[in-house]
Each structure stands twice: as C-alpha cells, then as structure tokens.
Structure 1
Amino acid sequence: NIFAASSPERAKLIMSNVAKRIEALDPSFIPLFVRSDVVGQKLLCLIACMCTDTLFFDFVNDVIRVKLALGLNEYGDSDARKFWDDKQIQSDKVANLTEATRKRLLSTYKQYLYNAGITDGNVGSRKIIVPIISADIVAWLREHDLQPALAALTGE
C-alpha cells in the first residue's frame, strides 16, 4: 500500500489516477521527473493534473494566471465564485454540478495548489507564490506544447 490508502479500493483509485496522469504526458516526462528536485517534481505533478482535468486547468488559468498578470499575488473566495459563475454559463455540465460538488472540487484544487507550493494554506484569501521553474522543465513544457500550463502558473 504505497499510497497509505484507507482501503484496497482507494489504493486502486489512486493508482488509476496516477497512471492516467502519467499517460497524458509524453514518455520523456519520466526521466525529467526522476532528475528533478522535489519542487520540480511537485510542479510536474500539478501540470499532469492540469493536463488530465480541464476544469482544474481552467481554474488555474482563469484565476491564478489572471491574478498574476494583473500584478496581484492573492485570490479569495470571491474569485472562486466568479470562476464557477462563469463556467456555469459556459457549460451545462458545470451548471448541473451541485453546490456540494463545487465546494469539494474547489477544496481539491486549493489543496493541489498548496501541495505544489503555488499558494499558501490560508483560509479565505490565499497568497499566490510564483514558482521558480527549472530551465529543464521550462524547455520540456515548451517542447511538448504545454506553454499554456506554464503561463497559467507564472502569469505570463
């Protein structure tokens, strides 16, 4: 049980998600991941999440990138509400999500960003921390047409 999961079923679900994220990226991701430091590995994991969850990518792009592009270094609950309001207009699927599901997704997204070192863990308003991304990772992202993910995390 390498994931310290609470049950065998949970371990299988975690493994399935990890495999899906790895498969979403070019195989050259693996050697890059292995030779990266912990900070780089966390960013690569976050980028893999962004590649497999378009709603999460949209959240990072529409909230984090926009805030950074405006020179702002924090986001709050009002930004998240605006994101959900905009997405409900754009997508029937998102419009049909319950409030509980939106809250759970937002909590997950906040945890992803915090775990990757992109935000702090404050309740309410969270500070955005622009990552220092290694030249190897930046080059790999550009080579594999993942500039949108890079821009979403850096505000470029």
Structure 2
Amino acid sequence: MTLKYSAGLISQSFWLTETREILKLKKEGTTEEEIKKMCVEEDLFNTQRESYSLRIYRDVTRRLKNIDDELIDIFLSSDISTQKLINLYLIAKNDRLLFEFLFEVYREKYIIGAKSLSKSDLNTFFNNKELQSDIVKGWVETTKAKLKNIYFNFMNEANLLTDKDGEKLITPPILDPRLENYLELNGDAAILKAITGVS
C-alpha cells in the first residue's frame, strides 16, 4: 500500500537518542508495553513531562514498526554516523514526501554535480507536489514552511548536508557495507540511492 502524503513530521524531532534507547530495550527483550510503562514511571527520555514522553514513544515506535532483528543489530553495533543514517531511513520509510524529496531533489542535485541545496530547491519541490496532490495543495503555508525546515534539519542531523557560510552543502555518506547490503536485500534500493545520491 502506498503511503499517503502527511505533514505529521511537523510535530516530531530526529529523536536519535530515544530511538537508540528503545532499540536497546527491544534487544534485551523488553516488551513495548513495558517500554511504554518506563516512559511514564521512569521518565525514560528525561522529558519531565509524561505526555511528551508518551508522544515520543508513540512516534518513535511507529517509525520502528517494521524494523527487524538484523537491522536492530546493525544499528546497535554501528558508529554514530551510521546510526543517524538508519534513523533517517526509518523516518523516510514512513514518510512518503520526505523520501520523495531525498530521491527527487537531493539525489538529483548530487548526480548533476550541484554543491548545495537551497530554499528555492525546496520551494520548487513543494510547488510541484501541490500540482500533483490535493493533500499537499490543501496545506497552509505555515505547515509547508515547518516541513521545509524539518527536512533541512533532519538532513543536517544525518550528515547529508553540512552548513558552511550560509550554504547547505551536499555531503553524501559512505555507507557501512552491512547497511548497504541490508537495504538492497530488503527491497529498499530506492532509499539507498536517495541517501547516497547515486544514479
């Protein structure tokens, strides 16, 4: 089933530390219900607010709904750079518009030799999507502006972009071979191409 376009990311953060914490607990055999209970009783994510902690839990576990033991093992045994890429992969796998931005804009800019991404690249992308989708067309400008900021922020977090002198420089990663093989074998070659900028 094809994912519908969603603006759900406007209420989310990258949440790498929280994802790592949940995956460690899952690896140890902790159930989802037990993790949820820890959010309430132990303030698992150090938020000091039960409602916010539960919201993080809900959103992160939604990202992790299709993760398997192999990817958990790759994540937990990897360096921070690879963990960031896996986290972005998990987000993009559950957010069609972010994936399409990575594949249609980030990847294409890298292929043609562009050195940076600009706000105009994001604006053009959203304008095109408005022509293709009534859902995107129906979003108010503030929603689209927040999503644009989030896309840049998430790509910075994952080191796909580097800020320098006011520019967003394109910095495609070199993937851990284990992650590359995993994505190829699990039918996610498109996401692999999107985050590495390959044709």
Q: TM-score per shorter chain, which class?
A: over 0.9
Structure 1 residue 28: Cα displacement? 2.1
Q: TM-score by structure 2 length?
A: 0.74
Aligned to 2:180: 138
Aligned pair partner of 1:60 in 99, 102, 117: 102
Residue of structure 2 equivalent to 1:22: 64
Cα deviation for residue 24 of structure 1 reads: 2.9
Which among 127, 132, 138 is matched to residue 96 of structure 1?
Answer: 138
Aligned length: 156
Tell me the distance in 2 between the aligned counterparts of 1:84 and 1:64.
14
The 5 A counterparts of 1:100-139 are 100-121=142-163, 125-139=167-181
How high is the sequence identity, in percent, across the aligned residues?
28
Deviation digits for residues 31-90 of structure 1, max 9, x if unmatched?
Answer: 111111111111000000000111111111121111011111211011011000010011
Report the AA paired with residue 109 of structure 2.
K
Question: Is residue 114 of structure 2 the alignment partner of residue 72 of structure 1?
Answer: yes
Letter in 1 for 2:91: C
Change (3 A) 1:123 1:3: farther
Structure 1 residues 123 and 96: CA distance shift in structure 2, 3 A = farther
Contact 1:114 1:120 in 2 (8 A): yes
Aligned counterpart, 1:51: 93
CA gap of 1:105–1:25, structure 2 versus 1, over 3 A, is same
Distance 2:48 2:148 in 1: 23
For structure 1, the 5+ residue unaligned runs are none
In our comparison, the structure showing a higher alpha carbon Rg is: 2
> Could you tell me how far 1:122 is from its partner in structure 2?
5.3
Q: Secondary structure at the match of 2:159?
A: coil
Q: Which amino acid aligns with 1:75?
A: L
Aligned residue type for 1:36 = S
What displacement does 1:25 show? 3.0
Instruction: Say whether the 8 Å CA contact 1:24–1:51 is kept in structure 2.
Output: no
Deviation at 1:18, TM superposition (A): 1.1
- Secondary structure at 2:44's aligned position in 1? coil
